[in-house]
Structure 1
Amino acid sequence: MMTRFLPARFRKSVPIIPVVRLRGMISPGGSPLQPVLSLAAVAPALERAFSVKQAPAVAISVNSPGGSPVQSRLIYKRIRDLAEEKKKPVLVFTEDVAASGGYMIAVAGDEIIADPSSIVGSIGVISAGFGFTEAIRKIGVERRVYTAGQNKSTLDPFQPEKEEDVERIKALQLEVHRTFIDLVKERRGDKLGDDPDLFSGRFWAGNSARELGLVDHLGDMRGFIKDRFGDKAQLRLVTMPRGLFGRRPQPGVTGLGGIDPAVLTSHAASGLLSALEERALWNRYGL
């Protein structure tokens, strides 16, 4: 045990691999009761992981069905910026699913390692909503909307859908999709297979994903790290800041440790909606 007091050059080298776990829906919002993945939420853990000077690499575990394309790209960009700044390779391990925005984050890895049953891909863009025009007509509600700017009520769910609105949102989706495709091609390059469905929004299990070049290897984190860095290599989990009942105060928690009831109620309502949205995302992949 006295070896920790010795100068570094006299110690036996034990590779330490910092691990950051990124799990959940990707969204700029969220609440202490329903945390999500966003740049603001994950940046502190990423900074800490890449600050481990002696680490030969940083491992990132991704388990996400996607969400906000902007937050996905911001997280991707922060990982790449830190990797280049600290000169550390990034190993990304996919768990149940790394799809849509989850896969966008995954391609920040210099190597992607998937479980054979991981769901990977879904390189596309989706928007969804509801139309309530018949419902409000049946209950006798009149919708009144006043705007300055003819496009301010685009895709209003309480008004009949307009063809020009749909064309506009589809054009926007195509632009975001193009950005996603370019990013994947830039990172994966010649590794990608020649498959017409690759950028169609389709997703695959780990074995097929490897054949298509979406991932590099099949395996689990512990086994892969020991094969790569030796049996003595150790994984060190870098945790996110704590939530509502943890040590770090969050919005709605008073300085004395009490909880503002009004803020808590607001968090509960938004958390429920966020939970339903996230559940729908996971359900898309049968999870």
Structure 2
Amino acid sequence: MPDISHLKNLVRLNVSWCPCLIEIPGLGKLTHLQHLGIDYCDSLRKLEKPQNLKEPIKVHFIGCDKLSRRSYREWKVPTTIAMGIDTGEEEANILESILVSGCLDFVITNGRANVQVSDLLGKSVLLYFSTYQSPSCYALFLKLVEAYHEKKAKDEAFEVIFIPFVHDRVAFKKYFSRMPWLALPFDDPRILSLFSKLEIHDIPKLVALGPRGQIITEEGRSLLEAYGADAYPFTDDHIEDMVNSWPEKLPHALHCHELQLTPWVHYTCDGCQEMGSV
């Protein structure tokens, strides 16, 4: 494709169904662009976002399998669009697009009661991918239970859904019986579909969805492990505000000198060269 940077007043660009298109040279220079269609550009690998835009851009991204999730985040486009989910529906129905398949339109409680996915619309939801024979899964489970009770007591518009990677029905029942939240039923076909759509390659995994079903972060596990329940609702703005509110230095009960805040657990004191951890 030729460089289009000279088309500075271009308002609408549609290159959908161009399977050989790898990049769009000059796209970043189009400051008046309002509509971009790149559906099913299977080979598209790079997508430069225009700077200093005059108006927000409406983007259609379906079927661009080789674009990274980072590209979607930079364009502030919900990753659900990248997965080929029909976004012609109201935004509030995106969660249904992820969790509903035909007549399978419910999740369950550990008392075996059905809860309609439609009842979860407008809530912040954590998709909890886990199994029962993993120490790391168990460690995350303990943290998640604590955070769930703390946040659920303050915010009813919050829910967790267990997506089980379990091959034994008895083990599933035993594991799920300890959970206060919802789950997809054992051996439900939607489980593999979610693993595929969200590209889940390792567990445990905690994917945070916003009230419209949009993906907030796929790094819920690391955020929960680092910040506990305070990580909720897992948005970048919330995490940034929380971290910025911390003091730059603080005393530590096990060391006589004031310590400066860093990302590291272990430290070497500049004052006395003593080593320790917090």
TM-score (norm 2): 0.23
**Bigger RCO (CA 8 Å, 6+ sep):** 1
Higher strand share: 2
TM-score (norm 1): 0.22
Higher helix share: 1
